[in-house]
Amino acid sequence: MYDVVIIGAGVTGCSIARELSKYQLKICLIEKETDVCCGTSKANSGIVHAGFDSVPGTLHAKLNIQGAALMEQYSEMLDFHFRRNGSLVLCFSDEDRPQLEELLQRGIKNGVKNLSIIEREELKALEPNVSDLAVAALYAPDGGIVCPFGLTIAMAENAAVNGVEFKFSTQVESVKKTGEDFEISTSRGRIVSKTVINAAGLYGDTLHNMVSGEKIEIIPRKGEYCLLDKSNGEVVNATVFQLPGKLGKGVLVTPTVHGNTLIGPTAEDILDKEGVDTTARGLKNLTEKAVLSIPKLPVKTVITSFAGLRAHISREKKDFMIGEVSDCPGFIDAVGIESPGLTSAPAIGLYVADIIKGKLNPAEKTDFIERRKASVDPKSLSFEEHQQLIARNHAYGNIICRCEVISEGEIIDAIRRPLGATTLDGVKRRTRSGMGRCQGGFCAPKIMEIISRETGREETELIKSGEHSLLLSDKLER
Amino acid sequence: MEERFDIVVIGGGPAGLAAAVSARRAGIDSVLIIERDKVLGGILNQCVHNGFGIHTFGEELTGPEYADRYVRMVEDMNIPAELDTMVLDFDADRVLTVVSPEKGLRRIHAGAIILAMGCRERPRGALNIPGYRPAGIYTAGTAQRLINIDGYMPGRDVVILGSGDIGLITARRMALEDARVRCVAELMPYSGGLRRNIVQCLDDFDIPLLLSHTVVEIHGRERLTGVTLAQVDEKLKPIAGTEKHIPCDTLLLSVGLLPENELSRQAGVELSSVTGGPVVDGDLSTSIPGVFACGNVLHVHDLVDWVSLEAETAGKNAADFVKNGKKPAGERVYITPGPGVRYTVPSYVEKGNIGEKVTVRFRVADRYKNASTCALAEGKVLSKKKRMVMAPGEMEELIIDGAALENAASVTVFVEE
């Protein structure tokens, strides 16, 4: 019997798990995929929104501001990449100025600090590559960027270290309330818990509708992205949005915390909750819109494209849906977590934990481990420190991924860590190996060899990410 | 204590080995080869097919055999090679930062550097093919490595996009292991590979070559389940209505090779936007004095024999630099690509430093029949060669008399139809 079962190991579920791991609770996190951060959390803009976009008075507004404020502290405590690079919303026409002004007022009402509207000259001084057609911009110096994998994995690892049980490749088949407790049937057996937290992202409606008479619907809203090569240097310093206006809903151009340039997302409602395919139309649309902001954007240096699905909740009021289900006490929804969901994650963790605390009244742990240390990044070390690291562990001198310069030591650590990687994509998201311009051409076979050696699994059993994503067909008889 | 070598060769593949041997023959004792793999030979080690060395050794060798000839020369000459060692960077003072598990992180000072890092394949991302991102998509070279070095089949039901030589050879390799190779699709109206490879790798195995075709969508969420192929028009855009679904579990990409110049770029070496390799003079010297380039890091070659030949030149000139220092800069005679020619190597020669003969290597931009390649300076033909057939997949060369270049202002290399 668990006190809390959390369904879904995305950024929301992991943040809730990490927050609740501070208390004396028996917690289990169930995930249908093979790793944390496999759905919406892995394919998004990686933006820490300043908070001017949300309607005042909504959970969006409240949790965005709170989450953005916590992000810096969390990045230091949990050791993931975060940078306050500032955000700009470009206005391309004097006719659109009222909307820009509205955004400013909304931001001020939400409590966003240091917001201002800047004119072309100041804008060009700040971002020389921005289009001359931009007449003004809303500038939010407190906007930031985060590594979405880094954030999710950090919170998950810390939760695991503090006793949260993670069950991967475990699909929930049904949730039933039996008396005071919940009985959860999964593809890997039955689990009983006092409370259930629904952080199932795109499948949040399925879970919710299992226990509630008030049905909800979540619509996958596809967002396509292109990632550009690092060798361009930073095309922009800030995250550059476009003000929705004559040109329709805009796309953003942003640096990533790792020095690439990301453009995206499109927005298209689709039917398929697994429909993370990119489309020719979407990618074309994306690059056409992005060059409106940054005419010199080197769109030919795309190293990969991908699509993510936002868990868009279909209802009149645009907001997160977080709280105990009224006709099913003990079942707590954290659904409809689309933008600014990543930014809000730390705050959502606190918000949901408060609900659980109110119900279960748990005592705080005395041995909670608050801090988490990321793998050593040799690139952040001085020459002498780097020398000492390799002297202590020779594996740090063996470079496996040439594009991102990732050593065997870092890959082994990603596998051996708490909640360590078991898949090729798992290693990639933890170390960045295979994320560079050759996209794993050289390093994939070597990483497969290391995973096989470390986990004792045959190479022919290794997967890319999903359970059926086998990398090889068979071993040749020699 | 400062580690110093007269010549450091970055890369122990065919170019690096030949350059090191040539530098030693030119009288330089202190030569070091740095290789990131566990063995010397580079990509040749996974090229188990034959057809190497016809020009260099007068016989047909496999890749490993060809490499072995040079490895033995290196061993016989006692040229040291540091294996498992990666160069992290070098600078204009020719100080390299290198790392290896055994010796850790350290700096090495070089009198001259020879860049011989080779090239790599363009991945899927660079093509931006829409669709899912399942397992089962590899570059042809990665598949070749998995099969020939690691002993694994990446898949059993294969479509190959791109008819570059590695794609053609891997098509045959997979067919030999009883995989089903459905087709090789090529975007261009002609193959990018050598003619002999089309005959020996596709025709002999009844593998269809679909010219003017490309992959427009990738299917399968976890493992690849198929691709959509479409025909393309003259502007290389897919033609609506020509799409067909081909079921397969593996897509191999052979869509171009890119010289691997991350180190060169970091160091500030001037690069050509056409080849992706350094801009070099007649001595194969890059824009940084004392840094030379040869082989596929300079421009992608079709035959290893030409790599060895080019590397010998680089080795000899690097040796000369070590012995005599930088030659006084002479007036530059630019060698520029004209109609039908994509690029030339070298990009220029310097008067006073021009050897007896200058070999200009280049690729043509289209297919030609019964045409000539020609080097022209101020209306005067410096060199001309009649060619029955030419294609972008095969490298061309013209040899120009050094004395003629001394009197030229600028040279254009072009195709005369």
Examine the pLDDT at B124 and tell me if it is beyond 80: no
Q: Which amino acid is at A245?
A: G
- How would you classify residue B77: left for phi > 0, otherwise alpha for psi between -120 and 50, otherwise beta? alpha
Minimal CA separation from A18 to chain B, in Å: 29
The verdict on residue A472 lying in a domain is no
CB of A305 less than 8 A from some CB of B = yes
Mean predicted confidence (pLDDT) in B321-334: 92
Asked if A390's CB is within 8 angstroms of B101's CB, the reply is: yes
Identify whether residues B167 and B251 lie together within a single domain.
yes
Mean predicted confidence (pLDDT) in B314-331: 94
Q: What is the pLDDT of residues A389-404, one digit of tens each?
A: 999 999 999 999 988 9
Identify whether residues A228 and A116 lie together within a single domain.
yes
The verdict on residue A254 lying in a domain is yes
Identify whether residues A383 and A397 lie together within a single domain.
yes
- ipTM exceeding 0.90, yes/no: yes
Measured CA to CA, the distance from residue B399 to residue B377 in angstroms comes to 14
pLDDT confidence of A77, banded at 50, 70, 90?
very high
Tell me what pLDDT residue A248 has. 60
Owner of token pair 């593809």: A187
Measured CA to CA, the distance from residue A476 to residue A456 in angstroms comes to 19
Identify whether residues B170 and B272 lie together within a single domain.
no
> What is the pTM for the complete model shown?
0.94
Q: End of a domain among B210, B235, B255?
A: B255
Q: What is the pLDDT of residues A238-257, one digit of tens each?
A: 999 999 865 567 899 999 99
Q: Which two tokens stand for residue B348?
A: 């220029």
Radius of gyration of chain A (CA): 22
* % chain B with pLDDT above 70: 100
Identify whether residues B128 and B109 lie together within a single domain.
no
pLDDT confidence of B128, banded at 50, 70, 90?
confident
Identify whether residues B235 and B262 lie together within a single domain.
no
Tell me what pLDDT residue A245 has. 65
How many domains is chain B built from? 3
* % chain A with pLDDT above 90: 92
- 3-state DSSP helix/strand/coil % of chain A, to nearest 5: 35, 25, 40
The verdict on residue A471 lying in a domain is no
Examine the pLDDT at A163 and tell me if it is beyond 70: yes
CATH number where B334 lies: 2.60.40
Identify whether residues B23 and B50 lie together within a single domain.
yes
Measured CA to CA, the distance from residue B343 to residue B259 in angstroms comes to 14
Asked if A476's CB is within 8 angstroms of B153's CB, the reply is: yes
Identify whether residues A229 and A303 lie together within a single domain.
yes
Q: End of a domain among A275, A309, A343?
A: A309
Interface of A with B in 380-399 (CB under 8 A): 383, 386-387, 390-391, 394-395, 397-399
Tell me what pLDDT residue A437 has. 79
Identify whether residues B222 and B135 lie together within a single domain.
yes
Q: Domain residues for A155?
A: 2-41+149-217+316-360
Q: Domain residues for B360?
A: 329-417
Please, what is the average pLDDT of chain B?
95
Identify whether the C-beta of residue A302 lies closer than 8 Å to the C-beta of residue A228. yes
Q: End of a domain among B296, B327, B358?
A: B327
- Residue with more model confidence, B381 or A301: B381
How many domains is chain A built from? 3
pLDDT confidence of A456, banded at 50, 70, 90?
very high
What is the set of active-site residues of A? 49
Minimal CA separation from A76 to chain B, in Å: 28
Identify whether residues B117 and B10 lie together within a single domain.
yes
List C-alpha distances in Å: B203 to A138, B119, B302. Answer: 62, 28, 20
Residue B181 with chain A: CB contacts under 8 Å: none
Identify whether residues A239 and A300 lie together within a single domain.
yes
Mean predicted confidence (pLDDT) in B204-221: 97
Please, what is the average pLDDT of chain A?
95
Identify whether residues A261 and A394 lie together within a single domain.
no
Identify whether the C-beta of residue B311 lies closer than 8 Å to the C-beta of residue B295. yes
A-chain residue closest to B215, CA distance: A280
Tell me what pLDDT residue A232 has. 75
Tell me what pLDDT residue A247 has. 53
The verdict on residue A179 lying in a domain is yes
Tell me what pLDDT residue A231 has. 78
Strand partners, A139: A88, A116
Q: What is the pLDDT of residues A374-432, one digit of tens each?
A: 999 999 999 999 999 999 999 999 999 988 999 999 999 999 999 999 999 999 999 99
Mean predicted confidence (pLDDT) in A177-181: 94
Q: End of a domain among B227, B255, B283?
A: B255
Identify whether residues A175 and A293 lie together within a single domain.
no
Identify whether residues B246 and B286 lie together within a single domain.
no
Q: Which two tokens stand for residue A260?
A: 């690439």
Identify whether residues A384 and A453 lie together within a single domain.
yes
E-strand spans in A40-171?
Answer: 47-48, 82-83, 87-91, 116-119, 136-140, 144-146, 165-167
B-chain residue closest to A230, CA distance: B262
B-chain residue closest to A225, CA distance: B128
Closest to A37 in 3D by CA, of A11, A18, A71: A11
Mean predicted confidence (pLDDT) in A258-270: 94
CATH number where A388 lies: 1.10.10.1100
Tell me what pLDDT residue A230 has. 87
Tell me what pLDDT residue A246 has. 55
Identify whether residues B41 and B95 lie together within a single domain.
yes
The verdict on residue A55 lying in a domain is no
CATH number where B114 lies: 3.50.50.60
Identify whether residues A285 and A418 lie together within a single domain.
no
pLDDT confidence of B251, banded at 50, 70, 90?
very high
pLDDT confidence of B224, banded at 50, 70, 90?
very high
Measured CA to CA, the distance from residue B292 to residue A294 in angstroms comes to 37
pLDDT confidence of A336, banded at 50, 70, 90?
very high
Q: Which two tokens stand for residue B74?
A: 């290196």
Examine the pLDDT at A165 and tell me if it is beyond 60: yes
CATH number where A305 lies: 3.30.9.10
A-chain residue closest to B102, CA distance: A394
Asked if B142's CB is within 8 angstroms of A442's CB, the reply is: yes
Asked if B156's CB is within 8 angstroms of A473's CB, the reply is: yes
Identify whether residues A128 and A95 lie together within a single domain.
yes
Identify whether residues B55 and B173 lie together within a single domain.
no
Asked if B132's CB is within 8 angstroms of A399's CB, the reply is: no
Identify whether residues B127 and B241 lie together within a single domain.
yes
Closest to A6 in 3D by CA, of A414, A312, A364, A348: A348
Identify whether residues B1 and B112 lie together within a single domain.
yes
